[in-house]
Structure 1
Amino acid sequence: MKSSPHIPPALTGAAWRASSYSGGQGNCVETATNLPTHTPVRDSKRPAGPTIVFSHDAWRTFLTHLG
Structure 2
Amino acid sequence: MLYTDGVSEARDERGVFYPLRARLAAWVDEAPVPLVRRITADLREHAGGRLDDGMALIVARRDTIRS
**Structure with the bigger percentage of helix:** 2
**Structure with the bigger percentage of strand:** 1
Considering only CA atoms, is the larger Rg found in Structure 1 or Structure 2? Answer: 2
Give me the TM-score of the superposition, normalised by structure 2.
Answer: 0.22
Higher relative contact order (CA 8 A, sep 6+): 2
